[in-house]
């Protein structure tokens, strides 16, 4: 994950373009989420960014593994981001495994030991510690899988046809 930042240029949408014209998100947490999603896809997962399992909660990354497990990855870009987050424990009831994703400079000793850990940058991530498996109840898993599929499908349609429907998901 050693990627030079010297070759980043201002992008047309306020993000940064790397030398290959790849648009990077402005916010550090979104950059981490991008790298996490790339890593998860390399493991044959189906990740979805910024998913709302219930009103009032928004997870950075939710991912369905090839085995059907549901992982949540919460991206933290700095100490203040972690300390100010009062909602993360609410995410635990919506996943089989819970992970943190940080950059290489984050003080990981702040993070709970009973969760997984990934170190990420905009281009990928590395799994440092696997999260323990806590199986979801079947009814909740079924609802989550349905909701993730619906949100992903609606986002894809709206990306290809912004006028197709209002953004209800």
**What residues have CB less than 8 Å from 19, skipping those under 6 apart?**
7, 8, 9
User: Whose CA is closest to 112, among 98, 122, 126?
Assistant: 98
- Percent of the chain past pLDDT 90, that is, above it, reads 71
Give the domain range for residue 119: 27-158
Q: Is the pLDDT of residue 10 over 50?
A: no
Question: Per DSSP, what are the bridge partners of residue 70?
Answer: 64
**pLDDT digits 0-9 by tens, 89-129:** 999 999 999 999 999 999 999 999 999 999 999 999 999 99
Domain count for the chain, please give it.
1
* Cα distance from N-terminal residue to C-terminal residue, the chain: 33
Helix then strand then coil, in percent of the chain rounded to 5, is: 30, 25, 45
Residue 28's pLDDT is: 81
Instruction: Note whether residue 18 is domain-resident.
Output: no
- CATH number of the domain to which 123 belongs: 3.40.1350
Instruction: Note whether residue 100 is domain-resident.
Output: yes
Instruction: Note whether residue 104 is domain-resident.
Output: yes
Whole-angstrom distance, CA of residue 103 vs CA of residue 31: 10
Instruction: Note whether residue 16 is domain-resident.
Output: no
H runs (alpha helix) in 20-165: 28-42, 79-83, 138-160
Instruction: Note whether residue 22 is domain-resident.
Output: no
Residue 107's pLDDT is: 95
Instruction: Note whether residue 81 is domain-resident.
Output: yes
Residue 21's pLDDT is: 57
Instruction: Note whether residue 14 is domain-resident.
Output: no
Residue 20's pLDDT is: 55
Instruction: Note whether residue 8 is domain-resident.
Output: no
Across the chain, what does the average pLDDT equal?
87
């Amino acid at each position: 994950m050693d990627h030079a930042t010297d070759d980043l240029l201002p992008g047309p949408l306020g993000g940064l373009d790397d030398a290959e014209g790849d648009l990077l998100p402005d916010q550090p947490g979104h950059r981490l989420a991008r790298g996490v999603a790339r890593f998860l896809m390399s493991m044959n997962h189906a990740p979805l960014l910024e998913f709302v399992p219930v009103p009032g909660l928004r997870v950075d990354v939710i991912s369905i593994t090839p085995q059907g497990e549901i992982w949540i990855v919460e991206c933290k870009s700095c100490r203040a981001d972690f300390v100010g987050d009062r909602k993360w424990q609410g995410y635990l009831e919506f996943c089989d495994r819970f992970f943190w994703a940080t950059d290489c400079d984050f003080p990981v000793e702040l993070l709970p030991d009973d969760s997984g850990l990934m170190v990420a940058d905009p281009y990928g991530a590395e799994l440092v510690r696997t999260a323990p498996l806590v199986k979801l109840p079947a009814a909740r898993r079924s609802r989550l899988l349905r909701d993730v599929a619906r949100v992903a499908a609606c986002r894809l349609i709206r990306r290809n046809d912004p006028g197709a429907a209002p953004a209800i998901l």
